[in-house]
Amino acid sequence: MFFKWLHNSTSANNPKDAATLASAARAAYQTALNERLPLAYIAEQSGRAQYWFANNIVQIVDVFGSPPGQTNYMLLTREITSTLKLSDDMTSLTGPDSDEPSYIDLRSTKEQFERYIKWARTVY
């Protein structure tokens, strides 16, 4: 299922046109609810389903983000994000021993979102 924000992207891999991580998480949660995927139930048990999906997206697929003070986006692979913590507002990642963000303006491309949903459909 495609969501409006996916259609607004002019390029499937351009992070400037990509959805915010929070939007991707909301769309993933809605997809999981609509398709009755087990991940929807798991996310709801956390008490913060959208945050759970955002955090899970960062753990499963690559996202884009900018170092603070810069306008260019970097591809943040799972190897990079595995040691970072997602902020409560789902807009930044911080290091384990820091309150300062390492990456801000987190985004998910259409391609990575679709990859995540494909993976989510396999979880039982």
Q: Residues 14, 30, 101, CA angle at the centre, nearest 5°?
A: 50
* pLDDT confidence tier of residue 100, bands split at 50, 70 and 90: very high
Q: How confident is the model at residue 13 (pLDDT cuts 50, 70, 90)?
A: low
Contacts 24+ apart (CB under 8 A), 86-95: 86/51, 86/54, 86/55, 86/58, 88/51, 89/22, 90/20, 90/21, 90/22, 90/25, 90/50, 90/51, 90/54, 91/20, 91/21, 91/22, 92/65, 93/58, 93/65
Sign of the torsion formed by the C-alpha atoms of 26, 28, 31 and 32: negative
Go through 96-106 and write b for each residue having 16 or more CB atoms within 10 A of its CB, e for each that does not: eeeeebbbbbb
Domain residue spans of the chain: 19-120
The whole-number average pLDDT for the span 82-110 is 94
Percent of the chain with pLDDT over 70: 90
pTM of the model: 0.87
DSSP result, 97-120: T-SSEEEEEEEE-HHHHHHHHHHH
Question: What's the pLDDT tens digit per position in 29-87?
Answer: 999 999 999 999 999 999 999 999 999 999 999 999 999 999 899 999 999 999 999 99
